[in-house]
Amino acid sequence: MSKWIEEETGNKLTDESKMYFQLILENLEKMESLINGILNYSSIDKNEESEYEINTYELVNDIVK
């Protein structure tokens, strides 16, 4: 979509508009990366049980030492 907008506007954009358009493109790439990261994180080891018991007494004692 962004490439289409870029092709349609061509040289009609001011320098300021081009700068804002570039910022939008960069932020879209960051957003895509974040979304992909969240999707990857949410699908890691769905079937593997990751819960386990923690002895809080031992944990606190280890921290205090």
User: What pLDDT does 36 receive?
Assistant: 93
> What is the pLDDT, as a whole number, of residue 61?
82
- Give the other-Cβ count within 10 Å of 6's Cβ: 14
Tens digits of pLDDT across the chain (65 residues): 667 777 777 778 888 988 888 898 899 999 999 999 998 888 876 656 667 788 888 888 888 87
Sketch the domain layout of the chain as residue ranges.
Answer: 1-41
Contact between 21 and 6 under an 8 Å Cβ cutoff? The reply is yes
Query: pTM score, two decimals?
Result: 0.53
Burial of 13 (0-12, 13-18, 19+ CB in 10 A): middle
